[in-house]
Structure 1
Amino acid sequence: MDSVTEEEKSEDYLFKIVLVGDSAVGKSNLLARFARDEFYPNSKSTIGVEFQTQKMDINGKEVKAQIWDTAGQERFRAVTSAYYRGAVGALLVYDISRRQTFDSIGRWLNELHTHCDMNVVTILVGNKTDLKDAREVSTAEGRALAEAQGLFFMETSALDSSNVAAAFETVVKEIYNILSRKVMVSQDLKTSSSIGSGKTVVLQAEDKQEAEADAEAAPKQQGGCC
């Protein structure tokens, strides 16, 4: 058992997470605050592909969250399938001071499910709680929508950092927990030769059937989308 524990500690886990939602809801600032503890009050729409890789420690394991920003494509409702490819987690963001961004959540959720596995770990994020005097969407409304859709829910402020780290960590920890349960279920199918030193475990969902087949053949290397 000790040798397995040492080998498992040497492995990395890489999870792709996407930020989706209407333009100007604060997606880029959420990422900047989480990854670099920065905030840009006059930031312009993201142009070009942008992602940050953030390391986290979960139960003694190093987990890397590769977080993708929509690169401004959401302004044209043209977020490509390549953006979603391989994503196993998502932050679905709206602005609590702009109801129209909340009303768009259903469309973004449909798009997410069109391009990703239906079970992609998703948290609904009501951003900009610092604008409490301009609030147009109540906390109760956000929570009710999340419960109806089976999503996690949290309100955040990229400006004052409220719940930003917690929102990202909620998604990453749930993905990790799902992968861990899959590994435990398949433990009896493993052989010592299937566990290597320094492997990167990438949880992806490019093709659901292929991912499921890979999960049965080598669950430690390819977990399928959760």
Structure 2
Amino acid sequence: MEEDFDRELKVLVVGNGGVGKTSMIRRFAKGIYTDEYKKTIGVDFLEKALFVDELQEEVRFMLWDTAGQEEFDAITRTYYRGAGAAVIAFSTTDRASFDAVAMWKSKVEAECGEIAVALVQNKVDLVDQAVVSATEVETLARKLGLKLYRTCVKEGINVTEVFVYLAELNQRKQQAAQPPVEMLPSKPKVLSAEPAENSITVDSGDNRAQTVDLAPSKKRTKGKKSLKDRMSSCSVA
């Protein structure tokens, strides 16, 4: 039988080839790591169910691993549609992958619009081979308006945190996109089902009941005094 999930989230993992995209989703989805590099042809797909504490929901992550090589661009971009989040990954030891980050962000936005996106610097354990500085990475993240995660897929550092963040950000974006509920002024309500004769009770609008007397005023209906009555009330000196 199929399991019911409170939320499903399609996540793209994009970036140049060889930065560790496949290793990242395998580590997250299956908890395994292999240092054997095998180029992704087109796209690969994995799933992972995870309970996200902040959302208090079980989320099914549908992870799409896309090829980073240009020759597969026409194929992989067809899988962008319908994504609710994306990881843009680059490698600490690959300068070209870092320089391509802005291009990958533009591709995601062109196909998916303003979805939840995180910037991931992978292979931070190879700091002695780094070709990008921490300062320029942080500057780029601020410029692009992306949250930066430094990960080590080999050791499983910060991998799950990336996807949990994307699930939370996706929900916030969905809530922000919902139109506000317009509050219309309420009409006076008749509170008494059987009002007393010549009166009704209405809601005045501030949680107080007000009784409106419909009976004509006595002063308005009081008859005029007769000439005899008026003369009898006068005294003559």
| TM-score, scaled to structure 2 | 0.68
- Secondary structure class of the residue paired with 1:78: helix
Question: Helix, strand or coil for the counterpart of 2:125?
Answer: coil
Aligned pair partner of 1:113 in 109, 112, 128: 109
1:50 lines up with 2:44 in the alignment:
yes
Shift of 1:186: 5.5
Is 2:80 the counterpart of 1:84?
Answer: yes
- Using the TM superposition, give the Cα deviation of residue 89 of structure 1 relative to its aligned residue in structure 2, in angstroms: 0.6
Instruction: Specify the structure having the higher radius of gyration (Cα).
Output: 2
Displacement of 1:87 in angstroms is 0.9
Tell me, yes or no, if the aligned pair for 1:121 and 1:171 is still in contact at 8 Å: yes
2:162 is the alignment partner of 1:167: yes
SS in 1 for 2:69: helix
Query: Is this contact kept in 1: 2:91–2:122, CA < 8 A?
Result: yes
1:101 aligns with 2:97: yes
Tell me which residue corresponds to 1:149: 144
**Aligned residue in 2 for 1:41:** 35
Matched residue, 1:125? 120
SS at match of 1:130: helix
2:153 to 158, 161, 166: 158
Please tell me the residue identity of whatever aligns with 1:28.
T
Q: Which residue of 1 aligns with 2:64?
A: 68
Please list the CA deviations of residues 104-157 of structure 1 after superposition, one character each: whole Å capped at 9, or x if unmatched. Answer: 11211121121111x111111100011111011122221211111111111101
User: What is the total number of aligned residue pairs between the two structures?
Assistant: 177
- Higher normalized contact order (CA 8 Å, seq sep 6+, divided by chain length): 1
> 1:147 is paired with a residue of what secondary structure?
helix
- Say if 1:176 and 1:155 are closer, same or farther in 2 by CA, change over 3 A: same
Matched, 1:15 2:13: no
Higher helix proportion: 1
Residues 128 and 149 (structure 1), Cα distance of their counterparts in 2 relative to 1, 3 Å cut: same
Identical-pair percentage: 29
The unaligned stretches of length 5 or more in structure 2 are 184-237
Shift in CA distance, 90/132, structure 1 to aligned 2, threshold 3 Å: same
Q: Gapped runs of 5+ residues in structure 1? A: 1-9, 189-226
Task: With the length of structure 1 as denominator, give the TM-score of the two structures.
Answer: 0.71
Please tell me the residue identity of whatever aligns with 2:23: N
CA contact (8 A) 1:146 1:152 kept: yes
Q: d(CA) in 1 for partners of 2:151 and 2:179?
A: 34
